[in-house]
Amino acid sequence: MINEAKQDLATQYVLGQLEPEEEARLRAMLSGDPELQRFISELREAAAKMALATPPQTPPPELIRRILDQVRKDAE
């Protein structure tokens, strides 16, 4: 059984929320833990199903302008 701390770490990993050090630590754990590997695989599958179940949305028209304004600001 995977403990709660590993579940939380795995969930953050699948969602791309780990800092590089934490990600490296999880990857090290993965190499010797088939149960954790299965858990992460199941999380990825569930996340993909949720993404596909969500109806597509049209972004607001001003979004591209805001993004480009921010890119220009960052480039200065």
Query: What distance in Å separates the CA atoms of residue 42 and residue 15, rounded to the nearest whole number?
Result: 13
Q: How does pLDDT run across 36-46, given as a tens digit for each residue?
A: 999 999 999 99
Q: How does pLDDT run across 12-71, given as a tens digit for each residue?
A: 999 999 999 999 999 999 998 999 999 999 999 999 999 899 898 898 989 989 999 999
Query: What distance in Å separates the CA atoms of residue 16 and residue 22, rounded to the nearest whole number?
Result: 11
Domains with residue ranges and CATH for the chain: 4-75 (1.10.10)
